[in-house]
Amino acid sequence: MSWQQLPYLDLIALCWFVGVWVGYTLFAKRRAREVSCLSYELRRKRTAWMEQMLIRDNKMADVALISTLERNVSFFASSSMLILAGLLTALASSDKIAAVLMQVMPWLDHVDGLLQFKILCLVLIYVFTFFQFTWSLRQYGFGGVLIGAAPDGRELPPADRSLYANKAAKVIDQAAHSFNYGLRAIYFSLATLAWFINVWLFMAATIVVLFVMKHREFHSKALKALQDV
């Protein structure tokens, strides 16, 4: 299906979806510099972690924690590949899927061509997700290298110790940001599923996902607990 054949309402809904996604990403990044949120609080905790790491004799606990974070990201990266494989299979069998959808929801229009386009949009989302998770995985590996190469902080001047802790925490923080971008893409992909039912439902689901993420990032109980520590 070409862009000329795509119904205007679906094209508007797609632009709405991309605009909300990109807009929230920019909003969250800017807002995190002004108010306390999960990103801000975790950045502080990572800096404190690295400062404590530098004065510990045994850093096995720090290495184990980095390994745990890597395993979590690796799980999502592997899951993204499996979902991609499923979506590509669905793209090749779109005619059969369209027939099933028409039987279940006979009021749907333009199922055949639009179905392929919608599945392709999901494929692109999960390609982006996979790249974010694998980049996060690499950056956690960089953080592990910095922990392994860390000097004895008790022998460093306070300024040098603070500088090393901040730089190491920044690398781990960037890994966490990439992981968050991947998770955010998965959340928005769930809104895309509503597009297979109704375009208006798709637009509404996009807003619902937006408010869920905003609540978790800026108003969740986990944030309040982090603020109190």
- d(Cα 176, Cα 32) in Å, to the nearest integer? 14
Type of residue numbered 190: L
Which pLDDT tens digit goes with each residue over 85-114? 999 988 887 777 766 666 666 655 555 567
Mean pLDDT for all residues in the chain: 89
Tokens of 182: 């991947």
- d(Cα 99, Cα 57) in Å, to the nearest integer? 64
Tokens of 141: 């590996």
Quote the DSSP letter at residue 69: H
Type of residue numbered 60: M
Q: Residue 4 pLDDT more than 60?
A: no
Q: pLDDT tier at 2 (50, 70, 90 boundaries)?
A: very low
Round to the nearest angstrom and report the end-to-end CA distance of the chain.
54
Q: Which residue has the higher pLDDT, 35 or 206?
A: 206
Q: CA separation (Å) from 91 to 28, 85, 103, 119, 197?
A: 34, 10, 19, 6, 17
CB neighbour class for 115 (10 Å; exposed up to 12, middle 13-18, buried from 19) = buried
pTM: 0.89
Which pLDDT tens digit goes with each residue over 130-165? 999 999 999 999 999 999 999 888 888 989 999 999
3-7, 93-97, 112-116, 221-225: range with highest mean pLDDT: 221-225
Q: pLDDT tier at 192 (50, 70, 90 boundaries)?
A: very high
E-only strand ranges, the chain: none
Type of residue numbered 34: E
The b/e string for 53-69 (b: 16+ C-beta within 10 A; e otherwise) is bbeeeeeeebeebbeeb
- d(Cα 143, Cα 168) in Å, to the nearest integer? 6
pLDDT of residue 103: 67
Which pLDDT tens digit goes with each residue over 65-76? 999 999 999 999
Number of structural domains, the chain?
A: 1
Give the range of the structural domain holding residue 83, as residue numbers without chain letter: 3-228
Q: CA separation (Å) from 204 to 117, 188, 209?
A: 20, 12, 9
Secondary structure in 3-state letters for 154-205: HHCCHHHHHHHHHHHHHHHHHHHHHHHHHHHHHHHHHHHHHHHCCHHHHHHH
pLDDT of residue 113: 62
